[in-house]
């Protein structure tokens, strides 16, 4: 049904217009108490076997919505009601900013991929904090992903991230330092450990200072060389971070015809995302929570990521191609597969194929 709507209707319109319209609809759902509760009752994961705990937070299911869809934390309840086990909002920057000029979002339907160069368009940390204070009515686990304001120079990046963290850490179930988006000039340089160490240290101090200590993760790019993946993993352990999210979009254009600039997501990043996950797992074992994202399309992908050592799995591009019931379907099929394999707790399978 969704495939028909996508090919016959949605694909004929500008992707960003469709996105804004969708988010507006989901916002409406988020503020409609009875309907969102009904949808939540019907679609949110409720099988106890799917529950998973990571960094002290209880998730109703392992599959969540990756950052970039709900930039301003406007539809957290709707996405939770639709079946995502957590919603990562953002990327949010300390100051509001418009992002790059349109067009900046491109569908590559044949490749089940997207290229975006949105550039962290968002209403700023203050507005996001206010939006998060209004989240209620259905249970929702919220990750808050923060990034650098474009006009702030790299030399002032730390204080810019710290300003966002101060504003947002108290309302986050976990906080993510995003240093891996390709659409803010210079941002990915911050992945180099000598720049990343002071940044993560400073944000961690803020996260540790909230009343319930907010878990802190860092999100990395698939384009890092293997040794740099190891270096970030070692740094995360050294600083006592809670986890790593791998991966963001890629600047590689391998396997796709489009030459639009920006970050490529979806099926073409699947293999590298899994490779980075395996590398991280072999480096850190179960000492960090690994969140795997990139090219996840179905329950087979989620199963594979869990076996490879991810405690949580995320997706975004798949939502565009598979529609609003995507997360519900994945969780239902995952629960069924667990039963078939005699698995009653996800801890039995997380990292089972890891070396
Ligand atoms: C349109 C779009 C916007 C995105 N914006 C962000 C963002 O603001 N911050 C971020 O950390 N990741 C962002 N991402 C990356 C996703 O969170 C995810 O890491 C990446 O797309 C790979 O997952 P996927 O293949 O399931 O989409 C964005 C992705 C897309 C497609």
Q: Answer yes or no: is the C-beta of 264 below 6 A from any ligand 1 atom.
A: no
Nearest CA to ligand 1 atom 14: 68
- pLDDT, mean of each 10-residue run, the chain (355 residues): 80 84 86 89 96 98 98 94 97 97 94 95 97 91 97 95 98 95 86 90 98 97 95 97 98 92 97 98 97 98 98 97 95 98 97 83
What residues form DSSP beta bridges with 92?
Answer: 146
- Please say whether the beta carbons of 157 and 169 come within 8 A: no
Angle at which helices 299-307 and 326-340 cross, to 10°: 60
70 is annotated as contributing to ligand binding = yes
What's the pLDDT at 355? 65
Cβ atoms of 150 and 293 closer than 8 Å:
no
121 known ligand binder: no
Q: Does the beta carbon of 265 lie inside 6 Å of ligand 1?
A: yes
Strand duo 142-146 + 174-178: pairing: parallel
pTM of the model: 0.97
Q: For residue 342, what pLDDT is reported?
A: 97
Q: Residue 294 Cα, ligand 1 centroid: separation in angstroms? A: 8
Q: Which residue has the tokens 């991966």?
A: 247
Q: Closest ligand 1 atom to the C-alpha of 296?
A: 26
Is 122 annotated in a binding site? The answer is: no
What is the Å distance from ligand 1's center to 71 Cα?
Answer: 10
| CB of 93 sitting under 6 A from ligand 1 | no
Predicted pLDDT at 80 = 95
Q: What is the pLDDT of residues 289-344, one digit of tens each?
A: 999 999 999 999 999 999 999 999 999 999 999 999 999 999 999 999 999 999 99
Residues 6+ apart with CB under 8 A from 167: 94, 125, 126, 128, 129
Supply the residue whose CA is at minimum distance from atom 5 of ligand 1.
Answer: 68
Cβ–ligand 1 distance for 143 under 6 Å, the answer no
Instruction: Give the pLDDT score at 19.
Output: 87
Tell me how far CA of residue 162 lies from CA of 201, 202, 221, in angstroms.
10, 7, 21
| Nearest alpha-carbon partner for 251 in 243, 241, 263 | 263
Cα 17 to ligand 1 centroid, rounded to whole Å: 17
What's the CA-to-centroid distance between 273 and ligand 1, angstroms? 13
Ligand 1 atom closest to Cα of 317?
A: 27
In short, whether 219's Cβ falls inside 6 Å of ligand 1 is yes
- Annotated binding residue at 116? yes
By CB atoms closer than 10 A (0-12, 13-18, 19+), residue 173 is: buried
Closest-CA residue to 310 (of 265, 264, 272, 276): 276
* Residues assigned a catalytic role: 181
Each residue's pLDDT tens digit, 94-103: 999 999 999 9
The closest alpha carbon to 350, from 215, 216, 200, 243, belongs to 243
3-state SS assignment for residue 94: coil
Orientation angle between helical segments 226-239 and 193-208, nearest 10 degrees: 30
**pLDDT score recorded for residue 203:** 98
Q: In this structure, which topology does domain 2-342 adopt according to CATH?
A: TIM Barrel (3.20.20)
According to the model, what pLDDT value does residue 13 have?
82
């Amino acid at each position: 049904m969704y495939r028909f709507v996508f090919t016959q209707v949605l694909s004929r319109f500008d992707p960003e217009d469709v996105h804004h319209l969708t988010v507006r609809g989901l916002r409406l759902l988020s503020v409609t108490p009875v309907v969102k509760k009904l949808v939540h009752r019907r679609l949110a994961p409720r099988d106890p076997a799917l529950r998973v705990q990571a960094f002290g937070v209880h998730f109703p299911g392992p599959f969540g919505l990756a950052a970039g869809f709900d930039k301003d934390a406007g539809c957290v309840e709707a996405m939770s009601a639709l079946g995502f086990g957590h919603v990562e909002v953002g990327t949010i920057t300390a100051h509001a900013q418009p992002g790059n000029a349109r067009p900046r979002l491109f569908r590559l339907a044949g490749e089940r991929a997207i290229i975006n160069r949105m550039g962290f368009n968002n209403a700023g940390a203050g507005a996001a904090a206010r939006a998060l204070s209004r989240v209620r009515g259905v249970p929702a686990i919220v990750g808050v992903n923060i990034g650098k304001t474009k006009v702030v120079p790299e030399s002032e990046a730390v204080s810019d991230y710290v300003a966002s963290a101060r504003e947002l850490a108290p309302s986050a179930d976990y906080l993510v330092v995003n240093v891996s988006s390709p659409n803010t000039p210079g941002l990915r340089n911050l992945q180099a450990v000598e720049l990343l160490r002071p940044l993560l240290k400073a944000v961690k101090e803020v996260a540790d200072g909230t009343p319930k200590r907010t878990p802190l993760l860092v999100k990395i790019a698939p384009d890092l060389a293997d040794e740099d993946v190891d270096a970030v993993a070692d740094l995360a352990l050294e600083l006592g971070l809670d986890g790593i999210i791998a991966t963001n979009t890629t600047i590689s254009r391998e396997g796709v015809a489009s030459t639009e600039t920006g970050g490529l997501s979806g099926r073409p990043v699947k293999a590298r995302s899994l490779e980075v996950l395996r590398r991280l797992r072999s480096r850190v074992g179960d000492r960090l929570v690994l969140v795997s994202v990139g090219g996840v399309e179905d329950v087979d992908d989620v199963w594979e990521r869990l076996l490879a050592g991810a405690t949580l799995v995320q997706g975004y591009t798949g939502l565009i191609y598979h529609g609003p019931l995507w997360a519900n379907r994945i969780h239902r099929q995952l629960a069924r597969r667990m039963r078939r394999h005699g698995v009653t707790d996800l801890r039995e399978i997380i990292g089972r194929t890891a070396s």
